[in-house]
Structure 1
Amino acid sequence: MDHFSTTRLTAERLNESHLADLVTLHLDAEVSRYLGGVRAPEVTKTYLATNMAHWDQHGFGLWTLRTKEGAFAGRAGIRHILVDDIDEIEISYAFTRACWGRGFASEIATALTEIGLSKLALASLIGIVYAGNVASRRVLEKSNYLLERSTIRHGNDVVIYRKRR
């Protein structure tokens, strides 16, 4: 599933041509505040390579997002992630500040959940959110994810939400 679209967004499988947009996204301190901090361009380049390899290995992964008008909106995806030594599959999303407060996160969370649970027939999906990220927690709650537990991840307090098929 290299491409998909929602009402207001188009998604394209992550590839090398997306590096510049991702670097800009990851250099924004406000955007990166809940993503583990600002990432240097070299770190984003490694991130891109890792996530492209995820596609090759699992047949799903991250997409870049554009508004219907063609503007870069962010990234989102479904990927394997190790949480407390358990292989989980998470949905994730990060948007440019220009896209905040417009309902895009809820729109993409709904789409990712449908893809993961229905099209990919995964047993469950999680969302990992910094405990203080009230907006992202609300997105998952609106998508009917249930708060499962709290944990520490990379030195930060996070909460884990889950939705089962």
Structure 2
Amino acid sequence: MDRFSTDRLTAERLREDHLDDLVTLHLNAEVSRYLGGVRAPEVTKTYLATNMAHWDQHGFGLWVLRTKDGAFAGRAGIRHILVDDIDEIEIAYAFKREFWGRGFASEVAIALTDIGLSHHELPSLIGLVYVSNGASRRVLEKANYILEKSTTRHGNDVVIYRARR
């Protein structure tokens, strides 16, 4: 599934020509606050390569999100992640600041959950969120994820939400 759309967004499989948009997104301190911090362009280039390889290996991964008029809005996807030494599959999303508070994250989280659980028939998906990121926690709750546990990741206190098929 290289493409999908929601009511207000279109999503296309991550490609090399998305690098400039991702660099801009990852250089924004406000956006990157809950993504592990601002990423230098070289780090984003490696991130892009890693996530493109994920697609090749697993048949799913990250998509670039655009508004219906074609403006870059952010990125989102489904990907493998190691949490507490367990291979989990998470939904992930990040939006440019001007798209915050408008329901786009909830719209995408619901779509990703459907793609993961129904289309790919994955047994469950997680959302991994910094404890202090109340907005993202509400997004997962709106998408019917249940709070499962607290843990630490890369020195940060996080919570894991889960949705099951």
TM-score when normalising by structure 1: 1.00
Partner in structure 2 of residue 36 of structure 1: 36
Query: Cα deviations across residues 110-145 of structure 1 (Å, max 9, x unaligned)?
Result: 000000000000000000000000000000001110
> What RMSD, in angstroms, separates the aligned Cα atoms of the two structures?
0.3
Query: Residue type of the partner of 1:26?
Result: H
SS of residue matched to 2:112: helix
Query: Residue type of the partner of 2:59?
Result: G
Which stretches in structure 1 are left out of the alignment for 5+ residues? none
Partner in structure 2 of residue 145 of structure 1: 145
- Aligned-partner Cα distance in 1 for 2:9–2:143: 17
Which stretches in structure 2 are left out of the alignment for 5+ residues? none
Query: Residue type of the partner of 1:95?
Result: F
Match status 1:131 vs 2:106: no
1:65-80 to structure 2, matched below 5 A, reads 65-80=65-80
Deviating runs (4+, > 6 A) in structure 1? none
SS of residue matched to 1:69: coil
Query: Residue type of the partner of 2:55?
Result: W
- Aligned-partner Cα distance in 2 for 1:18–1:96: 14
How many residues end up aligned between the 2 structures?
165
- Aligned-partner Cα distance in 2 for 1:103–1:161: 19
- Aligned-partner Cα distance in 2 for 1:70–1:145: 30
SS of residue matched to 2:77: strand
- Aligned-partner Cα distance in 1 for 2:87–2:100: 30
Partner in structure 1 of residue 97 of structure 2: 97
Partner in structure 1 of residue 21 of structure 2: 21
- Aligned-partner Cα distance in 1 for 2:94–2:81: 16
Partner in structure 2 of residue 114 of structure 1: 114
User: Offset of 1:69 from its aligned partner?
Assistant: 1.2
SS of residue matched to 2:38: coil
Partner in structure 2 of residue 87 of structure 1: 87
SS of residue matched to 1:136: helix
SS of residue matched to 1:122: coil
User: Offset of 1:15 from its aligned partner?
Assistant: 0.4
- Aligned-partner Cα distance in 2 for 1:4–1:52: 17
TM-score when normalising by structure 2: 1.00
Partner in structure 1 of residue 59 of structure 2: 59
- Aligned-partner Cα distance in 2 for 1:43–1:126: 25
- Aligned-partner Cα distance in 2 for 1:102–1:143: 15
